[in-house]
Structure 1
Amino acid sequence: MVSSAQEGERECHIVVLTDDDIVDWDHDNPPPMGEEYSQILYSTKLYRFFKYIENRDVAKALLKERGLKNIRIGIEGYPTCKEKVKRRPGGRSEVIYNYVQRPFIQLSWEKEEGKSRHVDFQCVRSKSVPNLIASLGEPTRPAATLNPQVDELDRLISPDPRPQSQAPPPPTNDS
């Protein structure tokens, strides 16, 4: 999730493979289903955990509690290796892949549809880890730099409901 967020993505799709699974795709003919955008996590322990629907339900409830959106956890076929190559008329080749059934997690940390397209990382609450980057053990920035900047357009769209006398002063650039 952290690497997806750092790349500017608003969602991620993680496939959990076993430690023994080998992914060997034909470089010239990758699988046609968009799996190249999936992140692969090799963990037999997580595979065994997500194999049971009861555990997937508990994980989904926990992710919802922490403020994540559009959560899908299930089992899907994932292409691991090339099984055979078919030659099509005109010299075009088609690669047939061997698929294994593996758990996947797909989720988003984006705000509600139809509202702002800004990502609000503060909505992801955690009881054990204060933020995603801290879970990697990387140095964190001061809290002031984690607050998203309010756009002038956002102020026009959703004005402060408090009377002008109670509204906080506008932010200044003291840096």
Structure 2
Amino acid sequence: MAAAQPPRAARGSGALMHELSNDGARRQFEFYLEEMILPLMVASAQSGERECHIVVLTDDDVVDWDEEYPPQMGEEYSQIIYSTKLYRFFKYIENRDVAKSVLKERGLKKIRLGIEGYPTYKEKIKKRPGGRPEVIYNYVQRPFIRMSWEKEEGKSRHVDFQCVKSKSITNLAAAAADIPQDQLVVMHPTPQVDELDILPIHPPSGNNDLDPDAQNPMP
């Protein structure tokens, strides 16, 4: 006797849950975009920048750089969001796909989302031949967002925050100075980078607590 087939609803439950998760991720990212990310974009634009590179750290991450021997790979130009909730959101590749789609819809350019190593504290200093020091930092794997709000090369350029719906640019600028403590943001100037696809190669981290499949930046 042939085994009974599961109901159609049960057979399609995986696809249904996937779509429900996508819908939920879109709503959640739109909230994160307005409350956490847009204030950094506004601050960058007001300082004359035309792109930003944001690293998402957890609430418990501690960044303690040696003033005499800071990291040498340009991390000082990154902006930081301390938010375990946003970190967990970007843990999934599917959520990063949804976020990239939302950013594209809002008119942003050169969007890159993925995982990269970020230096947290100095572990030790080695002396190279000739007396030149080599500083070794502890790196953790954390999500990043990199994007620009300028038109593509060869077209007219202007700042266009199409993602602003319920708040004006003026209100967002004010909000940038009044971010809740659980969304503490450390702001740094962003660099002018010509090749956004190339990320610095950092030493492998021993604190990689993200999914192995989520390690490579999205194309």
Shared fold (TM-score, shorter chain, > 0.5)? yes
Partner of 1:110: 150
Given the superposition, is the C-alpha separation of residues 39 and 127 from structure 1 closer, same or farther in structure 2, using an over 3 Å criterion?
A: closer
Residue 134 of structure 1: how far off its partner (Å): 2.6
Matched, 1:29 2:29: no
Unaligned runs of 5+ in 1: 139-175
Higher relative contact order (CA 8 A, sep 6+): 2
Equivalences, count: 135
TM-score by length of 1: 0.71
Q: Displacement, 1:95?
A: 0.6
Query: Alignment partner for residue 135 of structure 1, among 172, 189, 205?
Result: 172
Select the structure that is richer in helix.
2
- TM norm structure 2: 0.58
Who wins on radius of gyration, i.e. which is larger? Answer: 1
Deviation at 1:130, TM superposition (A): 4.7
SS in 1 for 2:131: coil
1:57 CA displacement:
0.6
More strand by share: 1
Q: How does 1:1-175 map to 2 (within 5 A)?
A: 1-116=41-156, 118-121=157-160, 124-126=161-163, 128-137=165-174
Q: Distance in 2 between matches of 1:96 and 1:130?
A: 43
List per-residue Cα deviations over 1:117-168 (Å, max 9, x = no partner): x4232xx323633544433546xxxxxxxxxxxxxxxxxxxxxxxxxxxxxx
Equivalent residues of 1:111, 1:119 under 8 A apart? yes
Identical aligned residues as a percent? 73
Q: Distance in 2 between matches of 1:23 and 1:136?
A: 26
On the 8 A contact 2:42/2:172 being kept in 1, the answer is: no
